Structure 1
Amino acid sequence: MGIPGEFPYDAGLHPGGYSTRLWTMRQLAGLRSAESTNERFTYLLGMGETGLSLAFDLPTQLGLDPDDPAADGEVGRTGVSIATVDDLGTVFAGIPLDQVSVSFTINATAPMLLAMWIVVAEESGVDPAALRGTLQNEMLKEFLARKAFIYDLDTSVRYALDVVEYCMSSLPGVNPISISGGHAREAGADAALEVACALASVDAYLGGMVDRGHTPEAVASRFSFIFGTDMELLKEAAKLRVARRRYAERMRDRWGVAEPRAMKLRVQVNTFGSALAYQEPLNNIVRATVQAIAAVLGGTQSLHVCSFDEAVQTPGPLGARIALRTQQILAHETDLARYADPLGGSHVVEGLVDEVGKEVDGWLQRIEDRGGIAACIRSGWLEGEIEELAFQDPGPTVGVLDPAPSPSASERQLLLAESHTTTGGRRDVVRASCPAELDRLRADALSGNNVLPALIEAVRARATIGQLCAAMRPAADDQQAALTS
């Protein structure tokens, strides 16, 4: 077992653990409209949430304006609908952006949302350099697991690296990418492959930034990670120890990194929605609590706990409040945060660390033998391995296999109480005329320049997310033409 705060950081990143600094309580939220999302953020902050996490609807994730025919039926369903910077300004109305950190669960349109965040800050009197938070901005996992991408793989990764580069030069408090293993896990991967997918993706993103002339230390010190926790409490806690240990070792041995911050794997943990059941929904409170304990014992830096109603709807206020209270009870009414490394010295945990570690090494070797994570995505091999593992996971079992699997009338009433109805209908967008700004964006996309400065100018001119994505598409068309010629 390692020592908290010392290489390879398997026992935790800080010598004092949570006794000196609690994890950030960051509940994901995004409801229909900008106004209702602002209401939910204000509600959560008033209950003691310590960081915001913003979820977007599918049209926003795919760069579609809400009045685009392709967006019909999806507007506001899975998160907030954002078309212009004014929508994002409404989300953050009354919220001091220089005092609250914000996590953006956005990937394909991360460059556009970053530009909007910057302009919202400027127009509210906040220096963008004071912004704090994280952009997910993780395109490899989109192609591997979620499939919410707009451009081809190479162009998508290029724009993701533009975000990393811009944040490194201009936004010191923003983590520009959150490398994910958790999405592969939700798709069916086991714990070891979850870690391996994230670590293999590090090599791809870090290699791309080194090719642009940046040092591994400077880039890796800005990385953050997303993992999940499932129901095997001790194994999940051990998994996070493995992830920190392997990351630190690979940074040192593979990339020659000596800076401690660049060797520390900083992680946001989301309890897994795939572990929830719509039958007997209050059982999900227990499931989410077990997974949250695993995350805390594993040493997470930030935590989202799923709401009990999340298996059937966007969480209502009751579910969101209970999920936040779960974190607060663990932090303040138990002794979990009292010790720097409560699992240190456990033979069971150390055995699990060895077991999972060997499996992670095996997956990493197979990925490397096939040319790295991008090549494994293109060939379909890695997705096939995840699908095979998915068939081995039984999912929730308690209360699920009862003769009457549907929720009772009283349970349905509880689930729908205080919920926000979503129509999924289109909403009209007023498009500003900004041809010069869009032409500059198109030219920078084609020439290979970093697109963020041009994006920011176009956002200031009130270009919509659909207009921005269309202006950046010719670079993808050129890339596709080069591949097929």
Structure 2
Amino acid sequence: MGVPGEFPYDAGIHPAGYTTRLWTMRQLAGLCTAESTNARFTYLLEMGESGLSLAFDLPTQLGLDPDDPAALGEVGRTGVSVATVDDLARVFDGIPLDRVSVSFTINATAPMLLAMWIVLAEETGVPPAALRGTLQNEMLKEFLARKAYVYDLPTSLRYALDVMEHCLRELPGVNPVSVSGGHAREAGADAALEVACALASVDEYLGGMVARGHAAEAVAARFSFIFGTDMELLKEAAKLRVARRRYAERMRDRWGARDPRALKLRTQVNTFGSALAYQEPLNNIVRATVQAVAAVLGGTQSLHVCSFDEAAQTPGPLGARIALRTQQILAEETDLARYADPLGGSHVIEALVEEVGGEVDEWLARIEARGGMAACVRSGWLEGEIEELAFRDPGPTVGVRNPAPSPSESALLAAERHTVTGGSRDVHRPPWGPELDRLRADAAAGRNVLPAMVEAVRVRATIGQLCTALRPAGPVPSPTSSSRESDERASR
């Protein structure tokens, strides 16, 4: 077992653990409109939350304006609708951007939301360099697991690298990517493949940035990660130890990193929504607590705990408050934060670390033998492996035998209200002007699109206009036939 704060950081990246610095309590929120999301953020901050995490609706994730016919029925359903910088201004109304860390759960349209964040900071008197937070900006896992992409894989990766490059140059407090294994896990991967997907993705992103002339060590120092925790409490805690150890070793041996900032894996952990059940929803409080304990014992830097009602709806105020209070109770009313490495020296943990670590190494070898992460996504092989694993996982088993409830009248009315609000919303588009022409030209010429994107956002270009300007000619291909089949299943 390692020593907290010392290479390879399996025992934690801080010498004192949580005894001097608690994890960030960062509950994900995004509710239909900018105003309702602002109200939820204000509520969570008043309840003691220490960081914000913003979720966007599907049209925003896919670069569709809310009055686009393709967005009908989806506006505001899975998060907040943001079409222009003015929408983002309403989300953060009264919230000091230079004093609150914000995580943006956005990927395909990460360049657009980053540009809006920068312009919003400027217009509220905050120097963009003072912004703190993280952009998810993780396109490999989108093609592998979530499927919320706008452009083909090479184009998507290019714009993700543009975001990383701009943050390295201009935004010292912003982590430009949150490399994810957790989404593959939610799709069906096991704990070892979850870690392997994240580590293999690191090589793809670092390779792209090194090809642009950046030092791998400088880029990696700004990486953050997303993992999840499931119900095998001790194995999940051990998994996070494995992730830190393997990452540190690979950064040292493969990329020549020596700066501790580039060797330390910093992670946000989300308790898994796939572990929740809509039947007997109060049982989910227990499930989420077990997973939160696993994350804390595993040494996470930031934590989101699922709400008990999340399997059935967007979390309500009660569910959001209980999820936050779960974190606060663990931090303040238990002894979990009193020891730097509470699992250090455990023979059970050591055995689990060896077991999971060996499986991670096997997955990494298989991925590398097939050409790396991007090649495995393109071929469909990795998605097939995840689907096979998904069939073996029974999911929640206690209290889930009740039949599915029919939608309540209030739920149907809420859905109808979202549809009507989104479909009739008036987005005042500026004419296609020189700012958008410059953005289109930079995209076509292969230049970093962020400077022109910021200029276009200043004149109130919409997310739909921005996405259109970046779109290469021709349709967006699905990476594999397997991916198309997955999309069809998801739509059903």
2:382 corresponds in structure 1 to 382
1:368–1:343 CA distance, 2 compared to 1 (3 A): same
Question: What residue identity is the alignment partner of 1:452?
Answer: L
CA contact (8 A) 1:84 1:459 kept: yes
- Residues in 1 aligned to 2:177 and 2:79: alpha-carbon distance in whole angstroms: 20
Give deviations 1:427-476, integer Å, cap 9, x for gaps. 221101241000000000011110000000000000000000000003x6
Would you say the 8 A contact 1:75–1:424 is kept in 2?
A: yes
Can you list the C-alpha shifts for 1:315-371, whole angstroms capped at 9, x where unaligned?
000000000000000000000000000000000001000000000000000000000
Q: In structure 2, how many angstroms separate the alpha carbons of the residues matched to 1:54 and 1:448? A: 30
> Deviations for 1:54-93, whole angstroms, at most 9, x for unmatched residues?
0000000000000000000000000000010000000000
Q: Which amino acid aligns with 2:116?
A: M
1:12-68 per-residue CA deviation (whole Å, 9 max, x = no partner) reads: 000000001000000000000000000000000000000000000000000000000
**Structure 1 partner of 2:308:** 308
1:69 aligned onto 2:80:
no
SS for the counterpart of 1:18 is: coil
Task: Give the Å deviation of 1:405.
Answer: 3.2
- C-alpha separation in 2, matches of 1:406 and 1:150: 33
Which residue is equivalent to 1:142? 142
> Residue 285 and residue 441 in structure 1: after superposition, are their counterparts in 2 closer, same or farther (change >3 A)?
same
Counterpart in 2 of 1:423? Answer: 418
Separation (CA, whole Å) in 2 of partners of 1:300 and 1:405: 36
Residues 89-125 of structure 1: CA deviation (Å, up to 9, x unaligned) = 0000000000000000000000000000000111011
The one-letter code of the counterpart of 2:18 is: Y
Residues 151, 476 of structure 2: 8 Å contact kept: no
Cα displacement string for residues 221-265 of structure 1 (whole angstroms, at most 9, x for unaligned residues): 000000000000000000000000000000000111111110000
1:178 is paired with a residue whose SS is strand
Q: Are 2:245 and 1:235 aligned?
A: no
Kept in 2: contact 1:190–1:389 (CA 8 A): yes
For 2:324, the equivalent position in structure 1 comes to 324
Aligned residue for 1:343, secondary structure, equals coil
Tell me the number of residue pairs that the alignment of Structure 1 and Structure 2 aligns.
472
Task: State the secondary structure of the residue aligned to 2:439.
Answer: helix
**In structure 2, how many angstroms separate the alpha carbons of the residues matched to 1:92 and 1:472?**
27
Partner of 2:446: 448
The residue aligned with 2:125 is 125
2:430 matched to which residue of 1?
A: 432
Q: Per the alignment, do residues 288 and 125 of structure 1 end up closer, same or farther by CA in structure 2, a change over 3 Å counting? A: same
**Distance across 1 between alignment mates of 2:332 and 2:417:** 35
SS in structure 1 of the partner of residue 179 of structure 2 = strand
Partner SS for 1:19: coil
Q: Could you list the runs of 5+ residues in structure 2 that have no partner in the other structure?
A: 478-492
The TM-score normalised by the length of structure 1 is 0.95
In the other structure, the counterpart of 1:224 is: 224
Letter in 2 for 1:225: F
Partner of 1:462: 460
Unaligned runs of 5+ in 1: 481-485
Counterpart of 1:52, as a letter, is L
Q: Partner residue of 1:13?
A: 13
CA contact (8 A) 1:155 1:479 kept: no
Structure-2 separation of matches of 1:11 and 1:313: 37
Q: Where do 1:181-220 residues align within 5 Å?
A: 181-220=181-220
**1:235-384 alignment, distance < 5 Å:** 235-384=235-384
Distance 1:313 1:233 in 2: 26
Match in the other structure for 1:52? 52
Q: Is the Cα–Cα contact under 8 Å of residues 228 and 271 in structure 1 kept in the other structure?
A: yes
Q: Match for 1:242: what amino acid?
A: V
Query: Structure 2 CA distance, aligned partners of 1:86 and 1:386?
Result: 40
Q: After superposition, give the CA deviation of every residue in 1:350-394 in whole Å (9 maximum; x if it has no partner).
A: 100000000000000000000000000010000000000000000
Aligned match of 1:483: none
Q: After TM superposition, give the deviation of residue 423 of structure 1 in Å.
A: 2.0
Alpha carbon RMSD of aligned pairs, Å? 1.7
Whether the 8 Å CA contact 1:135–1:177 is kept in 2: the answer is yes
Conserved 8 A contact 1:26-1:49? yes
Using the size of structure 2 for normalisation, the TM-score is 0.94
3-state SS of paired residue (1:366): helix
